[in-house]
Amino acid sequence: DAGVTQSPTHLIKTRGQHVTLRCSPISGHKSVSWYQQVLGQGPQFIFQYYEKEERGRGNFPDRFSARQFPNYSSELNVNALLLGDSALYLCASSLDRVTEAFFGQGTRLTVV
Amino acid sequence: GESVGLHLPTLSVQEGDNSIINCAYSNSASDYFIWYKQESGKGPQFIIDIRSNMDKRQGQRVTVLLNKTVKHLSLQIAATQPGDSAVYFCAEMWGSARQLTFGSGTQLTVLP
């Protein structure tokens, strides 16, 4: 079985640009969450989607948005990129909202 | 690869010894806990979970202990192997949002 897949694996963007990160959950999983991991820290929660609806949002500015598609894949969008947005962006999928979450390999975003 | 361990607490153990990694969680209302292992350049890997109605749970070579009185979680790894070298995070979950809140992580190094 394929695990959680994220694309792209690495990305370099310039300040002010926008970026779209993609995530495909494990087959059968309906919940997708996004996390930001800055170097040297644990992942920080950004969004959770379940059954295509936003179910939770972390303490991130409105420049961050996401959506979940009918096939349960998800996109994370970040507008007006700042240097501080440089991080590893992780997607996690779970069967529902209360069971264990499995993470993808992440997308390494560098903003220059 | 990603150097998530640069500013993290560290634990060094001899190969074959048992390891104990500790975590203090923040919210007394947390009802679900997960331990993750993160190797350099990779996403967090699920190790074991425990719900708040349990004190102990065992997996293959790993045991998680939960002490709700002092809000403390521990991960015990038996017969530690070189492949166990990684950063270990505990994560807690509470409330209707069901988001994971991660601890700061511990860098485990297995010495030959």
Determine the residue type at A8. Answer: P
Cβ pairs A/B, distance under 8 A: 68
| pLDDT digits 0-9 by tens, A22-76 | 999 999 999 999 999 998 899 999 999 999 999 989 999 999 999 999 999 999 9
Please give the average per-residue pLDDT across A86-97, as a whole number: 92
CA distance B108 to B103: 15
Q: Are B19 and B80 in contact (CB under 8 A)?
A: yes
Q: Which of residues 63-92 of B touch A (CB under 8 A)?
A: 89, 91
Which residues, including other chains, have CB under 8 Å from residue A33's CB and lie 6 or more apart? A45, A46, A47, A48, A49, A56, A91, A92, A93, A94, A101, B99, B100
Q: In the prediction, which pLDDT does B7 show?
A: 53
pLDDT surpassing 80 at residue A109: yes
Chain B: residue whose CA lies nearest to A91: B43
pLDDT surpassing 60 at residue B4: no
Q: In the prediction, which pLDDT does A1 show?
A: 57
- For Cα atoms A28, A30, A32, give the angle at the middle one, nearest 5 degrees: 120
Question: Torsion angle of alpha carbons B27, B32, B38, B41, nearest 10°?
Answer: -90
Whether chain B has a CB inside 8 Å of the CB on A39: the answer is yes
| pLDDT digits 0-9 by tens, B83-101 | 999 999 999 988 777 788 9
Whether chain B has a CB inside 8 Å of the CB on A100: the answer is yes
* Phi, psi at B84, each rounded to 5°: -85, -10
> Under an 8 A CB cutoff, do A103 and B44 touch?
yes
H or E element, residue B93: strand B86-94
Q: Are B67 and B92 in contact (CB under 8 A)?
A: no
CA distance A69 to A77: 14
Whether chain A has a CB inside 8 Å of the CB on B27: the answer is no
Q: Which of A24, A27, A111 is nearest to A73 (CA)?
A: A24
User: Does a cis peptide bond (omega within 30 degrees of 0) precede residue B44?
Assistant: no
Q: How far is B9 from chain A (nearest CA, A)?
A: 11
Q: In the prediction, which pLDDT does A100 show?
A: 82
A5: which 2 tokens? Answer: 């897949």
Whether chain A has a CB inside 8 Å of the CB on B58: the answer is no
Please give the average per-residue pLDDT across B68-91, as a whole number: 96
Q: In the prediction, which pLDDT does B89 show?
A: 95
The total of other beta-carbon atoms located within 10 Å of residue B44's CB is 31
Place B1 in a pLDDT band, splitting at 50, 70 and 90: very low
> Under an 8 A CB cutoff, do B100 and A4 touch?
no
